[in-house]
A and B are shown apart, each in its own frame.
Chain A
Amino acid sequence: MQTPAPFDYERATSLDGAIQALDRLGSDARVIAGGHSLLPMMKLRLAKPSHLVDINDLHELEYIREQDGQIRIGALTRHVDLQRSDLLARHFPLFRDAENVIADPPVRNRGTIGGSLCQADAAEDLSSVCSAVKAQVVIRGTGGERVVDMSDFHVGPYTTAVGAGEILTEVRLPLRPGGGSAHEKVERRAGDWAIAAASAALWMEGGTISNAGVALSSVGLTTIHLTRAEELLGGKPPSDDLFSQAAAIASEDSSPMPDGRGPVDYKRHLAGVLTGRALRRAAARAINQEA
């Protein structure tokens, strides 16, 4: 079996301790939480960190709660807990949509939201989910805490705003009335990464869309924020035609690469189809919510 190269391991007992360790060890050190992105890469020897800082004991980072008009999710929250959270499903049902199709149940028992976001794989579902609901993430380093919008979080392929010596600690989802959301994914087989996936969130006010969030997975080098589609949707009443226009934008604004999952034109096509579907379901949910 493939095995990781040697490394040093340290188990953090406090968040500050973890941050200090990362700061001390430098860029060759990596945080390990669920380990389901990092360990397979280490086994394939595509990643060879010299140090791992294990944050699994930092239970203070494991929560989903409502606070200050936000849903706040600790970075160490496992996929399975996101999937099962009724609080989350009530306000942001797209999380459950996504979690039902992210990897498989044993993987979901270990993998964390923080790990998924920080891996910043363009094929990863939670990045587009968090983008669509206009989440903010809290990043903490030796210099203190900062809050970053999801729109600024992805810096490039596999790179995020989280710097050396920093840890993503929390995801914040602003609560606004009249919201509905949905996530749609097509995969080659259960448990596979998406061929394409679309996340959509709509907020309704008096029969019109007051705010919209749309993002795509797997159809570009990074998660794609469909700002053109969001602008189109804002201030208009929901309609099939409107969603079809937004879907067309999704196809245009995606920039997929051809690979074993499919050619470019198919992925563009899917980006449109799934955006349309996600918007229609999000609207239906928003209208239910509003009613």
Chain B
Amino acid sequence: MSVVEERPIGFGRLKRKEDERFIRGKGNYLDDLELPGMVHGAVLRSPYAHAKILSIDTSRALAHPGVAAVVTAKDLETLGLAWMPTISYDTQAVLAGDKVRFQGQEVAFVIATDEYTANDALELIDVEYEPLPAIVNARKALDPDAPLIRDDKADQVDNTASPTWEAGDQAAADKAFAEADTVVSRDIIYPRCHPAPLETCGIIADFNPETGQLDIYNGNQAPHAHRTVYAHVAGLAEHMIRIKTGDIGGGFGNKVPIYPGYVCAIAGSIVAGVPVKWVENRSENLMSTGFARDYVMKAEMCAKDGRITGLRVDTIADHGAFDSTAQPTRFPAGFFHIVCGSYDLAAAHVKVKAVYTNKAPGGVAYRCSFRVTEAVYLVERMVDALAMEMDTDPIDLRMRSFIAPEQFPYETTTGWTYDSGNYAETMRVAMEMAGYEDLRREQAEKRARGELMGIGVSFFTEGVGAGPRKHMDILGLSMNDGADLRVHPSGKATVSISAQTQGQGHETTFAQIVAEELGIPPEDVEVRHGDTDKSPYGLGTYGSRSTPVSGGAVAVVSRKVRDKARLIAATMLETTPDDLAWEKGRWYVKGDPEKGAMIEEIAERAYSGDPMPEGMEGGLDGQTIYDPPNLTYPYGAYIAVVDIDPDTAEVKVRRFIAVDDCGVRINPMVVDGQIHGGLAEGIGIALMEVITFDEEGNCLNSSFMDYLIPTALETPDFELGETVTPCPHHPLGAKGVGESPNVGSPPAIVNAVIDALHESHGVDHLDMPCTPARVWAAMQGRPEPPQ
């Protein structure tokens, strides 16, 4: 027995296995890889947001020493690759032929001996453009005189990108508003921002003309889905495509889509028969790859008898020039209709229409489960606006309006079934950690001295872990994930998963799940991922789905193996399976605990020459595909404390308290790390990260000089707390957490900024980012929307 108790297994603050290579500089990122005979690609991009292409002359570039080829739309047309499907059933030009539709759009692809030469050649391609008026403001996209952006689409008569989509009950919502005693409305913009992982996107395509095999090296978040899409796009057999991700230097949604540069590299390799590497530079990353948000929202919220009762939302989604928004097929506005938040509303109605503009396509979820971020921002800003109107404490209003613990599972008026929660308890923990009453006292004292201090609250509920196959798919692919587990004769195990880490620590946490379920040390479990030839099919990592879906798969497959081990143990111990009980790593005979078989002994037996149970094959392994019965609904209470310089309007986030309830925590250290990172990104979005455009459609934030990301000096020493309300349907009770902090933190900070400025300056609304200039303008009575 003592042997068993000493084993450090399962859940807990285990240090990460993957660190070993990273702290030595031995990670294996895309740009680290060099293949024999490899050539390098570079993309020529449009300087205009909207222009006809009159001519492209590549002759000077082709004559440049070291240049092997210059590919244009014409060349791709002959291969049938000039256009590619997007994730949202739209089409996107791989290389622009007729006209360019956003600044930074791909126009030509150079292939040369090395990167320096390829960059040189870009300057030698002569493109003649005829500039057209550009549309960069979603509200103006449907003006009758707006230029038609998608004249490539036969039936397109205006810049509508998809039919208006609705959720909730309009009549019921109208009734709630008619009966309300307080109504507030706000125009709220969630501006365009960018995930900007520190490693940019890139690919090496290696087509072997002899075998027909295409090897793709590409750090992406969904390798299996990519392979399927490439098979369709390039007309290649899916089983002859192999995608290896290597290590990924951050993704945050940016590495979900397939980009034109990838298709160019693949086409280049197929034509040239040598490996083609293309790694985008930072400007390309910021100007052309998957942006996030860009929702222009009009919201109304009402209250009756001191509780929030209704919500109406009318939103314009700005998709840019091509609709490549990432979301499940049947949800064209993603999960935006989770906008009722954590509150027991009588009714709500949500309307979303989508438009094309002359901006980069994307609409990926930047650390966000399909527009949950926009929804949470909206509802948490509106609750504060309502509290302001009612002259009540924003926490009191939330407490009065929360869904009560006994109401779970809870059906929201817009169609979600929340799994579990005790919101008031989590809110109380956050208030206690923050010393909420003391903070309010301090604020009152400071106000009296003319100092500006703000306390901001948000309480979010997310829907993550997409998702059940009866409800959701992407491009017809179910959002399920597989897991294969093999316990080897020595008792060591290999588990293969379809989730794709970009830093989340899967090699450690998924080993911990197997360890917990089988009772073997996590260091004896190797996690395989990132190679489509060596991992089961699944949709990858985004939308906080690794733990909810792949984690479920690993738990389920571990239990399958454990059940098989029980049958083998019964044979070994000459008893019946029903007579056996399980403890850490061991089946033993009920009533005779000394008599048992360790998982290692069972594994040895399973591969040995000794008999197996009647009708059972040898070996100790299993596989599964996990179909989650529902999303999981993590939630949390966040409190931000900000100080604002009354003269310069600089905002300093002094404290940030985050109490998350993500159900059971597999590795609390990793969970904390995820929360820290998401909070920093949330602070970035709230204070500085934004992609803006001038009237001509020039992108004004196309490098890290102007796309500002918080440094260690803008991020406070985060204070984390937790409550644990297990998910009732997840095998481990876990809910997923990666995106919660990014979802929950922006409204807390903006609420804090407005809280600081309301009494002294009458500020009752401000859009992000809260830069010094924009905060100052708000203090002057001009809370201007971002450009």
Contact = CB atoms under 8 A, between A and B. Distances in A.
**Bound pair (A, B):** yes
Interface of A: 1-3, 5-6, 45, 104, 186, 188-192, 195, 260-263, 265-266, 269-270, 273-274
Interface stretch (B306-314, B512-520, B704-712, B738-746): B704-712
Interface in B691-742: 692, 700-701, 705-706, 708, 710-711, 713-714
Interface stretch (B115-123, B265-273, B410-418): B115-123
11 contacts: A1-B115, A1-B282, A5-B123, A186-B648, A188-B771, A189-B710, A190-B713, A190-B714, A265-B780, A266-B777, A269-B776
Given A6-B120, A260-B692, 8 more contacts: A1-B282, A2-B119, A3-B116, A5-B123, A191-B711, A192-B708, A260-B700, A266-B777
A189 B708 contact: yes
Nearest to A192: B708
Nearest to B713: A190
A266 B711 contact: no
Nearest to A274: B648
A238 B777 CA distance: 32
B145 interface: no
A195 B772 contact: yes
Contacts of A186: 648, 650, 772
A189 B714 contact: yes
B624 interface: no
A101 B153 CA distance: 52
Contacts of B692: 260
B317 interface: no
Given A186-B648, A186-B650, A190-B714, A195 B773 contact: yes
Nearest to B776: A266
Contacts of A262: 771-773, 776
A5 B708 contact: no
Contacts, number: 58
Interface in B273-287: 279, 281-283
Given A260-B700, A273-B647, A5 B771 contact: no
Contacts of B123: 5, 45
Nearest to A186: B648
B379 interface: no
A186 B775 CA distance: 13
B688 interface: yes
A269 B648 CA distance: 8
A274 B650 CA distance: 13
B204 to A, nearest CB: 16
Contacts of A260: 692, 700-701, 706
Classify the secondary structure of A's interface with B. Answer: loop
Query: 3 tightest A-B contacts by CB?
Result: A262-B773, A190-B713, A273-B647
A189 B770 CA distance: 12
Q: Which of B283, B650, B772 has the most CB of A within 10 A?
A: B772
Interface in B735-778: 771-773, 776-777
A35 to B, nearest CB: 16
A100 B771 CA distance: 21
Given A189-B688, A190-B711, A270-B648, A2 B283 contact: yes
Interface string B506-546: 00000000000000000000000000000000000000000
Nearest to B115: A3
Nearest to B700: A260
B64 to A, nearest CB: 12
Interface string B615-651: 0000000000000000000000000000000011110
A186 B776 CA distance: 13
A274 B772 CA distance: 14
A263 B713 contact: no
A270 B700 CA distance: 23
A266 B115 contact: no
A5 B701 contact: no
A69 to B, nearest CB: 37
Nearest to A196: B648
A6 B64 CA distance: 13
Contacts of A192: 705, 708
Contacts of A6: 120
A261 B714 contact: no
Contacts of B708: 188-189, 192
Contacts of A190: 711, 713-714
A188 B772 contact: yes
A3 B121 CA distance: 12
Contact of A261 (B283, B713, B773): B773
Nearest to A45: B123
Contacts of A191: 711
Nearest to B120: A5
A263 B176 CA distance: 42
Contacts of A270: 648
Interface string B253-272: 00000000000000000000
B119 A266 contact: no
A137 B764 CA distance: 51
A265 B119 CA distance: 41
B39 to A, nearest CB: 16
Contacts of B713: 190
Contact of B711 (A5, A189, A269): A189
A70 to B, nearest CB: 34
A55 B196 CA distance: 36
Which among A1, A45, A273 has the highest number of chain B CB atoms within 10 Å?
Answer: A1
A2 B710 contact: no
Nearest to B784: A263
Nearest to B687: A189
A167 B62 CA distance: 40
Contacts of B650: 186
Contacts of B776: 262, 266, 269
Nearest to B711: A190
A173 to B, nearest CB: 28
A98 to B, nearest CB: 17
A258 to B, nearest CB: 9
B655 to A, nearest CB: 19
Contact of B777 (A195, A263, A274): A263
B281 A2 contact: yes
Point out which of A104, A263, A266, A269 has the most chain B C-beta atoms below 10 A from its C-beta: A266
A191 B701 CA distance: 16
Contacts of B711: 104, 189-191
Nearest to A190: B713
Contacts of B773: 195, 261-263, 266
A57 B107 CA distance: 44
A189 B715 CA distance: 11
A266 B773 CA distance: 6
A216 to B, nearest CB: 14
A1 B777 contact: no
A84 to B, nearest CB: 19
Contacts of B282: 1-2
A45 B119 CA distance: 10
A175 to B, nearest CB: 32
Contacts of B283: 2
A223 to B, nearest CB: 20
Nearest to B771: A188
Contacts of B116: 3
A259 B700 CA distance: 9
Nearest to B684: A189
A190 B712 CA distance: 9
B72 to A, nearest CB: 22
A262 B649 CA distance: 12
A265 B773 CA distance: 10
